[in-house]
A = this chain, B = another copy of it.
Amino acid sequence: MHILITGAAGMIGRKLTARLIKDGGVAGQSIDRLTLTDVVAPEKPAGFGGKADLVTADLASEGVATKLLADRPQMIFHLAGVVSGEAETNLEKGYRANLQGMQALLETIRTAGGGYKPKVVFTSSIAVFGAPFPPAGIPDDFHTTPLTSYGTQKAMCELQLADYSRRGILDGVGIRLPTICVRPGKPNKAASGFFSGIIREPLAGMEAILPVADTVRHTHASPRSAVGFLVHAAGLPRDRLGPRINLNMPGVCVTVAEQIEALARIAGPKVAARIRREPDELIMRIVAGWSERFDVKRSLELGFTAEKTFDEIIRVHIEDELGGKIAP
């Protein structure tokens, strides 16, 4: 099988590539070719025996999708896009990367001819939903009234992906990722950054800032689970999915206080004490508009799995990013 991954240089893209190579196959087929593309140069994948093409290009640019699909990859993981904050500060760039990039892919598939009908696994986001939310959790079929341009673009992509699937042009599935935690790497300026920061920094021996109250509740899944969702979606048969192809993914719903308790249990109170409370009115206001919990009956029935506790999420981070070691 020939697989195309867009956004391959990003955090999820790199982890997905490594997982696919480790598994050797996906959806019951072995992988003999990988095309990895991103706006920044993707790395040559380690340990892959098949053919690997690395393409540094912007999917929304004329001719790029045509080139990427010329050899008709049977499976496409479409992860490329700009993040929430950037889509809000640069409207033009957001619509271009997040909507037009997707549309370039869809149109090239539609006009390829010769019965080409790839599987397309699309990373959508819970940002397709906008407050107010039902207290019991947001179901798959909650209306999409996003309160960000990023969420708007993802919701528009979901609609067109569903339409193209319904029409038999491709075999699509949209995965609405919850907040990914613990995100590896350096702290960033994203309003949601502290959810990862209050775990990652203390485990690395550094101080972390907590800008919101302990009572803030949110749903998280590890990077490992996010990759697991994509791989599971790739293997889902069309008839099990039905016409509603965009799915809320499972995750661990906890308060910040519960996140910190889990950290203390796993790494000790000294590590947990590296969190400094420094309330930030702006971040508190932004976070107040975010979803807290989801009704994921459907994705669980379809076999998607995530961590069950926040302790597990922390252990995944220690295993996958810290080589099993915690800074004393």
Contact = CB atoms under 8 A, between A and B. Distances in A.
A145 B140 CA distance: 11
Contact of A141 (B143, B152, B167): B143
A282 interface: no
Given A144-B143, A243-B130, A159 B163 contact: no
* Copies per complex of this chain: 2
A228 interface: no
Interface string A231-268: 00000000000011000000000000000000000000
Given A141-B143, A143-B141, A149 B167 contact: yes
Interface in A132-190: 141-147, 149, 152, 155-156, 159-160, 162-163, 166-167
A143 B167 CA distance: 20
A91 interface: yes
Interface residues of A, number: 22
A33 interface: no
Contact of A145 (B91, B156, B162, B167): B162
Contact of A143 (B142, B146, B152): B142
A205 to B, nearest CB: 42
A110 B96 CA distance: 14
Nearest to A246: B145
B145 A243 contact: yes
A144 B244 CA distance: 10
Contacts of A141: 143, 145
A50 B163 CA distance: 44
15 contacts: A91-B110, A91-B167, A141-B143, A143-B143, A143-B144, A144-B144, A145-B162, A145-B244, A146-B159, A146-B163, A147-B166, A147-B243, A152-B163, A156-B156, A159-B159
Given A146-B159, A146-B163, 8 more contacts: A91-B110, A91-B167, A141-B143, A145-B243, A149-B163, A152-B162, A155-B159, A159-B159
